[in-house]
């Protein structure tokens, strides 16, 4: 059981809700939802009862079709699950609840009854096909769980000090120094290779073998592929997912749907893109047609970029159809010799960290009509009624034409400008140049 920040949010929900709402914990498969929720039930309640709808018997499922007598319902539930429930001191967990929508609909009556607390966990849970025939309960509070962030990864490695140091350096705008920055970047690149899926981290700690870690990540990717095929027999979701590295490698201004799915355009597969985003396996960054504090009102649903929710999985997906020995990313990234054409790994890592910090992702492209040159701001953050443009660099950090042209165009809207790269913290006029490992503090 790794220490996860989501546990504190579960405690907050328990205290604030006091039985008035159920909690729906969403996240991709294998991100650790079931583990943390069951641990929460063990630690914070006198007893807990877990129903895993991926293996639940038909007899248990049948109970949810008649809630007219809740005394009988709870009596039967305790018998089938062999657990004792204590009023106002027991937790009932509906695991993989998306596989059995009637249980999710039952939340309304169960919460109103008030005897016990309820947590639902699910993956691919927001897809319309899974909820079209049920009434979504208003008594349901939803939170998302992400792969282990960098601080959680360091905790897993037994390091409780580095992240506090990084935060102090960032807040005081102080460089780490060349030698320390090299070590910090080496540690961060290890996180990029392994990722934040608990099984992959556990395998690394047990075996100290990248090949074994890569095998675990391949299993997870195959699991995602199986999920996609179950809900989409056309194969579109799998193709869109598998093509993410290739599309980022093109360095184009958007995900080019037509190059992945013949005769399709972005605006014709909006539902499929929404499904991928809802699965939490993918992060979508949308183009901001009007880059300002209200970017969410001006995002272009037909113009987007896709990233993987976990950069460790990304490093495996790039070479998924080949043997591990052909995956040059491990050697090149660990030795700090990543070629420019693999720079999109850094962009994916930034997308993952910004999302884990609660940011909705936007980017912006524009053209200089005089020079016919195209510029791109990799990410835009909304802060204090202003925006913060971010440019991610894998090399050539001494030039930042996109940031400069964007500032000329929207100077009155900008709060701070950031350039994210692999070197130590420094300033270039009003641009704060940050090493990758400081992105969580933006």
Residue 119: beta bridge partners?
Answer: 23, 93
pLDDT in tens, 95-106: 999 899 999 999
Checking if the pLDDT of 233 tops 90, the result is no
Checking if the pLDDT of 277 tops 60, the result is yes
Nearest to 362 by CA among 290, 423, 272: 290
Q: Give the model's pLDDT for residue 337.
A: 83
Q: What is the Cα–Cα distance from 240 to 213, expressed in whole angstroms?
A: 25
Q: Give the model's pLDDT for residue 25.
A: 96
More confidently predicted of 2 and 396: 2
Structure tokens at 441: 């503090």
pLDDT in tens, 322-336: 999 889 899 988 888
Helices 70-81, 101-113: axis angle to 10 degrees equals 120
Q: Give the model's pLDDT for residue 323.
A: 92
Nearest to 366 by CA among 395, 416, 409: 409
Confidence of residue 161 (pLDDT cuts 50, 70, 90): very high
pLDDT in tens, 340-366: 777 899 999 999 999 999 999 999 999
Q: Give the model's pLDDT for residue 109.
A: 95
Checking if the pLDDT of 378 tops 90, the result is yes
Q: Give the model's pLDDT for residue 127.
A: 57
pLDDT in tens, 306-325: 999 999 999 999 999 899 98
Checking if the pLDDT of 131 tops 80, the result is no
Checking if the pLDDT of 42 tops 90, the result is yes
Q: What is the Cα–Cα distance from 398 to 396, expressed in whole angstroms?
A: 6
Q: What is the Cα–Cα distance from 310 to 152, expressed in whole angstroms?
A: 14
Percent of residues, the chain, with pLDDT higher than 90: 81
Other Cβ atoms closer than 10 A to 39: 16
pLDDT in tens, 111-120: 999 999 999 9
Q: What is the Cα–Cα distance from 134 to 122, expressed in whole angstroms?
A: 16
Nearest to 45 by CA among 74, 16, 86: 86
Q: Give the model's pLDDT for residue 319.
A: 92
Q: Give the model's pLDDT for residue 342.
A: 79
Q: Give the model's pLDDT for residue 125.
A: 66
Checking if the pLDDT of 369 tops 80, the result is no
pLDDT (average), residues 419-436: 95
Here the contacts of 337-345 (C-beta below 8 Å, separation 24 or greater) are 338/394, 340/394, 340/395, 341/249, 342/394, 343/392, 343/393, 343/394, 343/395, 344/245, 344/248, 344/249, 344/251, 345/192, 345/311, 345/314, 345/315
In this structure, are residues 47 and 74 in contact, taking their beta carbons and an 8 Å threshold? Answer: no
Q: Give the model's pLDDT for residue 396.
A: 67
Q: What is the Cα–Cα distance from 137 to 113, expressed in whole angstroms?
A: 14
Q: What is the Cα–Cα distance from 430 to 294, expressed in whole angstroms?
A: 24
Confidence of residue 371 (pLDDT cuts 50, 70, 90): confident
pLDDT in tens, 247-276: 999 988 899 999 999 989 998 999 899 889
Checking if the pLDDT of 135 tops 80, the result is no
More confidently predicted of 189 and 335: 189
Q: Give the model's pLDDT for residue 136.
A: 75
Other Cβ atoms closer than 10 A to 208: 9
Q: Give the model's pLDDT for residue 165.
A: 97
What is each CA distance from 343 to 262, 320, 392, in whole angstroms? 27, 18, 9
- Looking at every residue in the chain, the average pLDDT score rounds to 93
């Amino acid at each position: 059981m790794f220490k996860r920040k989501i546990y504190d949010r579960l405690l907050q929900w328990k205290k604030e809700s006091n039985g008035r709402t159920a909690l729906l914990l969403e996240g991709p498969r294998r991100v650790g939802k079931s583990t943390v929720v069951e641990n929460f039930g063990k630690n914070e309640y006198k007893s807990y009862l877990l129903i895993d709808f991926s293996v639940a018997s038909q007899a248990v499922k049948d109970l949810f079709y008649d809630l007219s007598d809740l005394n009988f319902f709870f009596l039967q539930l305790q018998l089938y699950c062999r657990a004792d429930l204590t009023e106002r001191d027991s937790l009932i967990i509906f695991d993989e609840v998306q596989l059995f929508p009637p249980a999710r609909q039952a939340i309304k009556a169960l919460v109103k009854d008030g005897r016990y607390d309820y947590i639902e966990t699910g993956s691919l849970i927001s897809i319309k096909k899974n909820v079209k025939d049920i009434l979504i309960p208003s008594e349901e509070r939803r939170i998302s769980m992400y792969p282990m962030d960098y601080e959680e990864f360091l905790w897993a490695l037994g390091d409780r000090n580095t992240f506090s140091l990084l935060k102090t350096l960032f807040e005081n705008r102080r460089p780490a120094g060349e030698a320390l920055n090299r070590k910090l970047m080496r540690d961060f690149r290890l996180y990029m290779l392994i990722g934040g899926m608990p099984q992959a981290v556990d395998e690394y700690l047990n075996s100290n073998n990248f090949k074994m870690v890569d095998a675990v990540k391949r299993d997870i990717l195959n699991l995602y592929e199986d999920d996609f095929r179950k809900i989409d027999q056309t194969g579109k979701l799998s193709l869109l997912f598998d093509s993410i590295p290739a599309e980022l490698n093109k360095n184009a201004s958007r995900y080019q749907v037509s190059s992945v799915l013949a005769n399709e355009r972005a605006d014709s597969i909006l539902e499929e893109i929404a499904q991928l985003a809802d699965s939490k396996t993918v992060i979508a960054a949308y183009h901001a047609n009007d880059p300002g504090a209200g970017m969410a009102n001006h995002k272009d649903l037909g113009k987007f970029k896709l990233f993987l929710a976990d950069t460790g999985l990304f490093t495996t997906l790039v070479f998924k159809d080949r043997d591990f020995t052909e995956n040059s990313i491990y050697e090149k990234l660990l030795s700090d010799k990543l070629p420019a054409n693999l720079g999109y790994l850094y962009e994916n890592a930034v997308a993952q960290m910004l999302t884990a910090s609660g940011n909705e992702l936007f980017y912006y492209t524009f053209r200089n009509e005089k020079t016919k040159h195209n510029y791109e701001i990799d990410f835009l953050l909304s802060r204090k009624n202003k925006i913060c443009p971010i440019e991610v660099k894998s090399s050539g950090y001494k030039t930042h034409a996109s940031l400069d042209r964007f500032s000329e165009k929207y100077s009155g809207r900008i709060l701070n400008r950031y350039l994210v790269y692999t070197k130590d913290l420094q300033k270039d006029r009003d641009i704060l140049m940050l090493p990758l490992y400081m992105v969580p503090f933006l």
